[in-house]
Structure 1
Amino acid sequence: MTTLDGAVALVTGASSGIGAATALGLAQNGASIALIGRRRDRLDGVANDITELGAKVLVLEGDLTDPKGAEDMVQETIDRLGRLDVLVNNAGIMLLGTALHTTTEDWDRMVALNVSAMLHITHAAVPYLIDAAATSPRGVSDIVNVSSTAGRVARPSSSVYTLTKFGVNGFTESLRQELLSERVRVSVVAPGTVDTELVDHLRDSIRDAARRQVDSIEPLRPADIADAIGYIVTRDRRVAVNEMLIRAGEQTW
Structure 2
Amino acid sequence: MTNLFDLSGKVAVITGASSGLGADAALAYAQAGADVALLARRVEKLENVKSEIEKTGRKAIAVGCDVSDENKVKAAIGQVVDAFGHIDILLNNAGIAVGGGVDSMSVEDWDKSFDTNVKGIFLVSKYVVPHMKAQSYGKIVNIASINAVIADKGDMFIRHSYNASKSAVLGLTKGMAASYARYGITVNAVGPGLFESEMTSGTLFKSDEFLKLYNNTNPAGRPGKRGELNGTILYFSSDASSYVQGQFVIVDGGSAIV
The answer, yes or no, to whether TM exceeds 0.5 is: yes
- Distance in structure 1 (CA, Å) of the matches to 2:81 and 2:256: 41
Q: Aligned pair in 2 of structure 1 residues 251, 166: CA closer, same or farther (>3 Å)?
A: closer
- Secondary structure, aligned partner of 1:55: coil
Aligned counterparts, 1:44-193, within 5 A: 44-132=47-135, 134=136, 140-155=137-152, 157-193=158-194
- Alignment of 1:239 with 2:243, yes or no, is yes
* CA distance in 2 between partners of 1:111 and 1:200 (Å): 22
**What code does the residue aligned with 2:250 have?**
L
Question: 1:61, 1:24 → 2: CA distance?
Answer: 18
The CA deviation at 1:52 is 0.2
String of CA shifts for 1:137-179, please: whole Å, max 9, x gaps: xxx4200000001111134622111110110000000110001
Change (3 A) 1:2 1:252: closer
Instruction: Could you tell me which runs of 5 or more consecutive residues in structure 1 were left unpaired when the two chains were aligned.
Output: 135-139
Aligned length: 243
Aligned 8 A contact 1:94 1:201 in 2: no
SS at match of 1:198: helix
Name the CA distance, whole Å, in 2 between partners of 1:246 and 1:117. 22
Q: Is the Cα–Cα contact under 8 Å of residues 95 and 201 in structure 1 kept in the other structure?
A: no
Structure 1 residues 111-140: Cα deviation after superposition (integer angstroms, max 9, x where no partner): 1110111111010100111223x3xxxxx4
Could you tell me which of 11, 14, 17 is aligned with 2:20? 17
Letter in 1 for 2:8: D
> Which residue is equivalent to 1:224?
228
8 Å Cα contact 2:150-2:256 kept in structure 1: no
* Residue pair 1:35, 1:43 contacting (<8 A) in 2 also: yes
Q: Is the 8 A contact 2:141 2:190 kept in 1?
A: yes
1:208–1:53 Cα change, 3 Å: closer
Asked if the contact 1:193–1:251 (Cα under 8 Å) also holds between the matched residues in 2, the reply is no
Asked if structure 1 preserves the Cα contact closer than 8 Å seen for 2:37 and 2:80, the reply is yes
1:137 counterpart residue number? none
Question: 1:61 offset after TM fit, Å?
Answer: 1.1
What is the Cα deviation at residue 212 of structure 1?
A: 2.7
Structure 1 residues 29-44: aligned runs within 5 Å: 29-44=32-47
- Structure 2 residue runs without a partner (length 5+): 216-221
Amino acid paired to 1:239: Y
Q: Verify the 8 A CA contact 1:94 1:198 in the aligned structure 2.
A: yes
Deviating more after overlay: 239-248 vs 40-49? 239-248
What's the % identity of the aligned pairs?
Answer: 27
| Residues 22 and 227, structure 1, Cα contact 8 Å, conserved in 2 | no
- Structure 1's 3 and 158: CA in aligned 2 closer, same or farther, altered over 3 A? same
Aligned 8 A contact 1:107 1:160 in 2 = yes
Q: CA RMSD in A?
A: 2.1
* Closer, same or farther: CA 166–15 of 1 in aligned 2, 3 Å: same
State the distance in 2 between where 1:103 and 1:109 align. Answer: 10
The CA deviation at 1:54 is 0.3
The two structures have a TM-score, normalised by structure 2, of 0.87
* Distance in 2 of aligned mates of 1:99 and 1:106: 10
Kindly state the Cα deviation for residue 252 of structure 1 after the two structures are TM-superposed: 6.8
